[in-house]
């Protein structure tokens, strides 16, 4: 190779992930081993010229990968690479590469790449044969930071928990428990089995005051009578932001920290305060203290600050969504309580429930409101007036608090979605037994339910109705499957490739419609078929799919797509731009484009698998 080309090759490698993670010496060595190849427009690379050769990186030009069945695998441009999934193959390749322009390629041999993969973890995981492994590796790249605060929040709970603990047997008296807490300065005591040390419960100072002293119990009462049994715990290996997630989800302020089955410490909100993770907890407490909707709307602006903080701390997308779901839950339940207080006693039992993303606990900064109301029995017009006022005031207040009106009008203030239990059951019968386009649209919203306020049993009955009717209805599942595979992930993402059009007729990637929603729909399909009661997409994938590899693939794809979505929304917030799920391709980094293709290939493959599994249900 002409030595004068080395500086250009080195510069390209030094700015291309994952080779940018190599040491200077390793980059020099790699650059010297690179071979250069030229391909003209319409040239084809396949089989023995591709299998087992090495890694091909496009320096100039563009090309298409075409699967052996003729379908598009991906479109590639400058900075993209291919060939790593064919390294261990011989003879026929899984795809061919057709060059759309005159192109210059850098080629790293199979032997050199294997040597570098063995020396560098970033390179090894990036060029793994499986897309989900490559997507897992992106998390390390995206969260690598020298930021001090971010680093503190990634600390495991075991590194910051209080190591001084009080362990007492279940027959210990409340007086002796109080003495030990006073002597040690601990906030709570662990109630453990005398024979094997198993954690049976915990007793806080507040428990001793409210459950023992305030109730006039004798000081000799055993702590087993006032303890919280089977408490929520956290593993010592979990990062601090997952501690926050657990506290929000279970509404607790203290957590025992476990190593295997042994208590090794405790962690509380004070520990989170020292690590700047209390914003969501304080906001939720503030929401519950407010006395009017106007007071609540004044708190809504804090959501933006919390989103920015969580992004700067590089918290995982699923945790961000659960935190924002807990915040939304607090707003909804408080608004419902204030509204019922102002309207008086309702005519019968009812439940206000979340649908869509809030039901799945997947709220993000842009989420609007999807909800409904179910009341116990049919009502006359006078009685109905109560719930019409109730739903109108609740939905109006939610809009004022930043949960905007649903564009499809899937809200309880729409009388269609404020119905008796019998009417809701008739809806589900109709949607499942006679599915059409509108039925599939309606069911895609209202098959995800979670009670927010009122009689939770009314919502549980609807969930059971859904599972009972849908699981064995092959025609409905086939229609649902067809709906889930109608939109194809944009495997052709590159350059000015037109993906969809925004309001100004510009080409954009709609990461929600063309990626995230497809996984949500597949997860719902498998959950219904397997009678899985889980509502969140992550849990549905894990519990509803028998194929563990497929579940893992889709979970990794979903996580990465949300990472990209949140990163671009965070950037828009900092720049004062409007937020959306639309992203112009030229705003995507090379790193994002490469891994979006991995995510989209996973979705396309699992769409095909679902179609084979359920598609035959339509006559």
Q: What is the mean pLDDT of residues 61-83?
A: 85
Neighbour tally for 336: CB within 10 Å: 23
DSSP state of 405: P
Residue 50 predicted with pLDDT over 60:
yes
From the list 448, 246, 302, 462, the residue with the least C-alpha distance to 375 is 462
Tell me the C-alpha distance between 613 and 605, whole Å.
Answer: 13
Cβ atoms within 10 A of the Cβ of 367, count? Answer: 18
Fold of 3-129: Jelly Rolls (2.60.120)
**Per-residue model confidence (pLDDT) at position 185:** 81
Question: For the chain, what percentages of helix, strand and coil (3-state, to nearest 5) are there?
Answer: 55, 15, 30
Class of domain 156-273: alpha beta
Span 433-468, pLDDT tens digits: 888 888 888 888 899 999 999 999 999 999 998 988
Q: Which residues pair with 578 in a beta bridge?
A: none
Instruction: Give the predicted TM-score (pTM) of the model.
Output: 0.70
Q: β-pairing, 63-67 with 95-99? A: antiparallel
pLDDT in tens, 394-448: 999 999 999 999 989 999 999 999 999 999 999 999 999 888 888 888 888 899 9
How far is the C-alpha of 565 from the C-alpha of 128, rounded, in Å?
24
pLDDT greater than 50 at residue 383: yes
Name the pLDDT band for 273 (thresholds 50, 70, 90): low
CA distances from 138 to 47, 148, 180, 454, 493 (A): 30, 21, 48, 42, 19
Dump pLDDT digits (tens) for 553-589. Answer: 999 999 999 999 999 999 888 888 888 888 887 788 7
Report CA Rg, the chain: 28
| Spacing of C-alpha 71 from chain mean position | 30
List, in order, residues 6 or more apart from 608 with CB less than 8 Å away.
485
Mean pLDDT value of segment 166-181? 93
Residues 6+ apart with CB under 8 A from 375: 346, 347, 348, 349, 350, 387, 418, 419, 420, 421, 458
Q: What per-residue confidence (pLDDT) applies to 495?
A: 44
pLDDT of residue 539: 92
Which stretch of DSSP H or E encloses residue 514?
none
Residue 66 predicted with pLDDT over 50? yes
pLDDT tens figures, 297-338: 988 888 888 888 888 777 889 889 988 999 999 999 999 999
Summarize pLDDT for 124-140 with one digit per residue, the tens.
Answer: 777 776 666 666 655 55
Pick the CATH number of 301-470 from 3.30.460.10, 3.40.1280.10, 1.20.1340.10, 3.40.50.1100: 3.30.460.10
Please, what is the average pLDDT of the chain? Answer: 86
Q: How many CB atoms lie within 10 A of CB 68?
A: 12
Q: In 157-195, which positions are buried (b, 16+ CB within 10 angstroms) versus exposed (e)?
A: bbebbbeebbebebebbbebbbeebeeeebbbbbbbeee
């Amino acid at each position: 190779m002409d030595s004068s080309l080395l500086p250009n090759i080195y510069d390209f490698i030094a700015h291309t992930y994952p080779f940018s993670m190599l040491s200077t010496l390793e980059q020099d060595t790699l650059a010297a081993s690179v071979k250069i190849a030229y391909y003209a427009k319409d040239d084809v690379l396949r089989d023995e010229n591709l299998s087992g050769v090495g890694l091909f990186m496009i320096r100039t030009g563009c090309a298409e990968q075409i699967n052996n069945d003729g379908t598009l695998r991906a479109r590639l441009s400058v900075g993209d690479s291919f060939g790593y999934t064919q390294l261990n193959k011989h003879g026929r390749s899984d795809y061919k590469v057709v060059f759309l322009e005159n192109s210059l390629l850098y080629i790293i041999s199979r032997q050199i790449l294997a040597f570098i993969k063995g020396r560098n973890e970033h390179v090894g995981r990036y060029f793994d044969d499986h897309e989900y492994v490559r997507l897992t590796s992106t998390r390390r790249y995206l969260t690598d930071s020298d930021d001090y605060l971010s680093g503190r929040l990634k600390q495991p709970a075991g590194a910051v928990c209080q190591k001084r603990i009080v362990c007492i047997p279940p027959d210990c008296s409340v007086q002796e428990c109080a003495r030990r807490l006073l002597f040690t300065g601990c906030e709570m005591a662990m109630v453990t089995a005398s024979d094997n040390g198993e954690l049976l419960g915990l007793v806080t100072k507040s428990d001793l005051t409210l459950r023992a002293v305030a109730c006039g119990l004798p000081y000799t009462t055993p702590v087993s009578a006032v303890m919280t049994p089977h408490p929520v715990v956290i593993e010592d290996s979990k990062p601090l932001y997952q501690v926050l997630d657990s506290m929000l989800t279970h509404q607790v302020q203290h957590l025992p920290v476990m190593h295997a089955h042994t208590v090794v410490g405790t962690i509380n909100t004070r520990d989170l305060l020292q690590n700047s993770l209390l914003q969501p907890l304080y906001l939720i407490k503030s929401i519950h203290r407010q006395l009017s909707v106007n007071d609540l709307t004044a708190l809504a602006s804090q959501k933006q600050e919390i989103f920015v903080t969580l992004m700067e701390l590089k918290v995982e997308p699923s945790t961000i969504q659960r935190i924002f779901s807990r915040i939304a839950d607090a707003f909804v339940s408080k608004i419902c309580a204030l509204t019922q207080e102002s309207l008086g006693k309702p005519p019968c039992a009812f439940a206000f429930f979340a649908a869509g993303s809030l039901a799945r606990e997947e709220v993000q900064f842009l989420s609007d409101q999807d909800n409904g109301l179910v009341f116990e029995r049919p009502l006359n017009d006078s009685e109905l007036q109560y719930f019409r006022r109730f739903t109108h005031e609740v939905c109006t207040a939610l809009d004022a608090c930043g949960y905007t009106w649903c564009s499809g009008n899937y809200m309880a203030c729409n009388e269609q979605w404020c119905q008796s239990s019998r009417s809701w059951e008739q809806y589900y019968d109709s949607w499942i037994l006679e599915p059409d386009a509108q039925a599939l649209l309606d069911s895609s919203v209202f098959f995800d339910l979670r009670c927010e306020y009122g009689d939770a049993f009314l919502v549980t009955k609807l969930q059971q109705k859904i599972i009972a009717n849908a699981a064995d209805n092959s025609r409905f599942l086939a229609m649902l499957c067809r709906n889930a595979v109608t939109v194809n992930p944009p495997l052709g993402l590159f350059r000015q490739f037109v993906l969809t059009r925004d309001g100004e007729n510009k080409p954009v990637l709609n990461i929600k419609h063309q990626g995230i929603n497809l996984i949500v729909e597949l997860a719902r399909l498998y959950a219904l078929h397997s009678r899985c009661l889980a509502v969140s997409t992550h849990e549905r994938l894990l519990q509803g799919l028998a194929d563990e590899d497929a579940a893992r693939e889709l979970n990794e794809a979903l996580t990465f797509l949300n990472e990209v979505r949140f990163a671009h929304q965070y950037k828009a917030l900092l720049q004062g731009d409007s937020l959306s799920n639309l992203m112009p391709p030229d705003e995507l980094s090379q790193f994002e484009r490469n891994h979006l293709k991995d995510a989209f290939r996973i979705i396309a493959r699992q769409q095909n698998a679902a179609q084979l599994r359920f598609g035959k249900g339509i006559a």
